């Protein structure tokens, strides 16, 4: 049975996507959230990281828009197809999330590359932090990973329900960045969702004014959530692209 342990809206802070703006998130810390309850939240713009559920609550800004791909109508571009073909050299593994030295090292290498190339602030992650954020036990939680032989080269954490495949967070070995592994893992998620009869792949939030988030709009067609519907409101998704 679902239990809400905490619920709050954070004070305004500098936005990580649009630096000239402020941002706030609405948070719920919950235990006992089932697959159907999670699905009802995903369709209303919520995301999950461990036991924490969140969505934008920014005053005067609506740039973070939930985006999803309709699996039956989605068609990759030629460049996206090439990224998928390049990923075929790797072994695809779908398993429950776990934490170990291999994953911690991969995350550290990926984040160090972002610090160097994009000026990100350091964000060290130990085993306890990783377990809480990415390997927290949840009936919908899965890990989609790529292996080059026995070597782990990419990880995407996902939530999977009967009607939603939600990509939560991903990272990969910096030396395979030229292969566009992030694009490939989106297309792999679409393939796996299609095999399972899951109608939508959720990609989190599209932020048109942020270069690192704008790419999501390149997956077409896609649907965008209108507003932030409440639990008793029917969500309305508009097709775009």
Report how far apart, in Å, the C-alpha atoms of 38 and of each of 60, 148, 214, 241 are: 27, 33, 26, 27
**pLDDT value at 16 more than 90:** no
200 SS3 class: strand
Q: What is the pLDDT of residue 223?
A: 98
Contact call for residues 190 and 164 (beta carbons, < 8 A):
no
What is the tens place of the pLDDT at every residue in 181-198?
999 999 999 999 999 999
Which of the following CATH numbers is that of domain 3-240: 3.40.630.30, 3.30.565.10, 3.40.50.720, 3.40.50.2300? 3.40.630.30
Question: Would strands 164-172 and 47-49 be described as parallel, antiparallel, or unpaired?
Answer: unpaired
Query: For the CA atoms of 115, 121, 124, 128, what is the dihedral angle to 10 degrees?
Result: -130
Round to whole Å and give the CA distance between 109 and 127. Answer: 15
Sequence spans of domains, the chain: 3-240
The model's confidence at residue 20, banded by pLDDT at 50, 70 and 90, is: confident
Q: What is the pLDDT of residue 120?
A: 82
Sign of CA dihedral 76, 82, 83, 87: positive
What is the tens place of the pLDDT at every residue in 53-96?
999 999 889 999 999 999 999 999 999 999 999 999 999 999 99
Q: Over range 217-231, report the average pLDDT.
A: 95
**pLDDT value at 212 more than 80:** no
DSSP state of 178: G
Q: What is the pLDDT of residue 60?
A: 85
What average pLDDT does the structure give for the chain? Answer: 95
């Amino acid at each position: 049975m679902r239990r809400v342990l905490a619920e709050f809206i954070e004070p305004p802070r500098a936005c990580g996507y649009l630096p000239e703006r402020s941002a706030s998130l609405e948070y719920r810390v919950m235990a006992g959230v089932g697959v159907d309850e999670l699905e009802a939240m995903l369709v209303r713009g919520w995301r999950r990281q461990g036991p924490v559920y969140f969505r934008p609550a920014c005053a005067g800004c609506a740039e973070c828009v939930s985006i999803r791909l309709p699996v039956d109508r989605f068609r990759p571009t030629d460049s996206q197809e090439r990224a998928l073909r390049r990923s075929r050299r790797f072994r695809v593994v779908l398993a429950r999330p776990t934490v170990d030295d291999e994953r911690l090292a991969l995350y550290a290498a990926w984040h160090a590359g972002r610090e160097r190339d994009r000026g990100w602030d350091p964000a060290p992650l130990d085993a306890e932090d990783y377990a809480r954020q990415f390997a927290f036990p949840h009936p919908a939680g899965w890990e989609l990973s790529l292996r080059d032989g026995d070597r782990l080269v990419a990880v995407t954490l996902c939530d999977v329900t009967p009607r939603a495949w939600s990509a939560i967070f991903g990272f990969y070995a910096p030396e395979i960045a030229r292969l566009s592994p992030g694009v490939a893992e989106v297309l792999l998620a679409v393939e796996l969702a299609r095999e399972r009869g899951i109608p939508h792949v959720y990609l989190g939030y599209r932020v048109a004014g942020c270069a690192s988030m704008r790419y999501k709009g390149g997956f077409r067609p896609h649907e965008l959530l209108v507003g932030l519907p409440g639990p008793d409101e029917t969500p309305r998704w508009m097709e775009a692209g």
